[in-house]
């Protein structure tokens, strides 16, 4: 696939995600990954009882799915390159668009905020429970807004900018292409969300997936923080807040991804959450200069969109220069 075709794939995959997200009823790569992870996990947890066995099984699961997903994208790149060129381009566009979650993230926030705006707080709590792990049955509107903003800011990195980063990186290697690396990262992210928990029964099985996803996300997370800081017009201030608060979060990436949005918006994230009746305190991120509102969430979504457009434009410019 030549440079022009690669650029077409990048541009139209971004457009597809912005306009239609994931078409209802279509088989999604994450569904296939999830099915494989679920089946493998059930088999491993029922047959491997020892700590060492489960940790080894976790390494096999992580490397197998990540490398396998990347190879699937790379194989499609090779196969379609030798079939009809435009068919190959179309298939790569669809597959790459499935790796991005920009529109899905916006729709999820609307799914929660719309019933809340209409005064149906019970429905808003129910909708929110589909996207977060905390207990939502007794949340106030302010707590629902905070939970939604935390979800939007954290998933902006995992679901939008990181897959885009790896797609652009892969585009600079003609033999690899944008789809292979984006799919490999999507596999790592899916593994982390399904088995990367620091609690049983996934403590040993998911340890490798959780650590490896942290490593893969580290660079795109910092680049996102830097880009958003520049976009804010006050980079020194927002970066100083991030350096102060983000390291308090046990995750090497989640604290930074949430804190950069909190710092730019002048709000505070974190605090008290309840999980299955157990109260847990999360680190406070940012300063409570402004209340969290639906407008705050929309601004966060807009920041993510602008960041992606800048990255996409920079990547395409680089491809044209090196073309």
Q: Flag whether pLDDT at 80 surpasses 80.
A: no
Q: What are phi and psi of 3, to 5 degrees?
A: -60, -45
Per-residue pLDDT tens for 227-269?
999 999 999 999 999 999 999 999 999 999 999 999 999 999 9
Find out whether 134 and 275 touch, Cβ atoms under 8 Å. Answer: yes
Q: Is 309 helix (H, G, I), strand (E, B) or coil?
A: helix
Parent domain of 40: 3-322
3-state class (DSSP) for residue 267: coil
Average pLDDT of the residues of the chain: 91
Per-residue pLDDT tens over the stretch 17-68: 998 866 556 678 888 898 999 998 889 888 888 888 888 998 999 999 999 9
Q: For residues 128 and 126, give the distance between their C-alpha atoms in angstroms, rounded to a whole number.
A: 5
Tokens of 181: 């690396």
Percentage of the residues of the chain whose pLDDT score is greater than 70: 96
Q: How many domains does the chain fold into?
A: 1
Core vs surface per residue 205-216: b (16+ CB within 10 A) or e: bbbbbbebbbeb
């Amino acid at each position: 696939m030549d440079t022009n075709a690669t650029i077409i794939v990048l541009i139209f995959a971004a457009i597809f995600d912005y306009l239609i997200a994931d078409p209802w009823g279509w088989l999604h790569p994450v569904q296939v990954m999830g099915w494989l992870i679920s089946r493998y996990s059930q088999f491993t947890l029922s047959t491997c009882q020892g700590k060492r066995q489960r940790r080894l099984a976790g390494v096999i699961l992580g490397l197998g799915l990540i490398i396998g997903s990347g190879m699937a994208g790379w194989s499609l790149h090779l196969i379609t390159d030798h079939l009809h060129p435009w068919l190959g381009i179309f298939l790569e566009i669809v597959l790459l668009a499935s790796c991005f979650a920009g529109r899905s993230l916006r729709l999820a926030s609307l799914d929660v905020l719309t019933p809340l705006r209409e005064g149906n707080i019970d429905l808003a709590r129910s909708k929110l429970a589909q996207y977060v792990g905390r207990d939502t049955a007794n949340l106030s509107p302010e707590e629902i807004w905070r939970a939604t903003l935390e979800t939007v800011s954290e998933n902006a990195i995992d679901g939008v900018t990181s897959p885009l980063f790896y797609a652009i990186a892969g585009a600079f290697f003609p033999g690899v292409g944008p789809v292979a690396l984006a799919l490999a990262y999507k596999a790592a992210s899916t593994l982390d969300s399904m088995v990367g928990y620091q609690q049983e029964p996934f403590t040993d099985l998911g340890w490798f997936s959780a650590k490896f996803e942290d490593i893969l996300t580290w660079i795109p997370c910092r680049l996102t923080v830097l880009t958003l800081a520049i976009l804010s017009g006050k980079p020194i201030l927002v970066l100083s807040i991030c350096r102060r608060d983000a390291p308090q979060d046990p995750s090497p990436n989640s604290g930074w991804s949430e804190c950069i949005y909190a710092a730019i918006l002048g709000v505070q994230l974190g605090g008290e959450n309840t999980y299955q009746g157990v109260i847990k305190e999360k680190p406070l991120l940012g300063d409570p200069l402004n209340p969290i509102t639906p407008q705050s969430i929309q601004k966060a979504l807009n920041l993510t969109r602008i960041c992606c457009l800048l990255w996409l434009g920079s990547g395409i410019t680089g491809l044209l220069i090196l073309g």
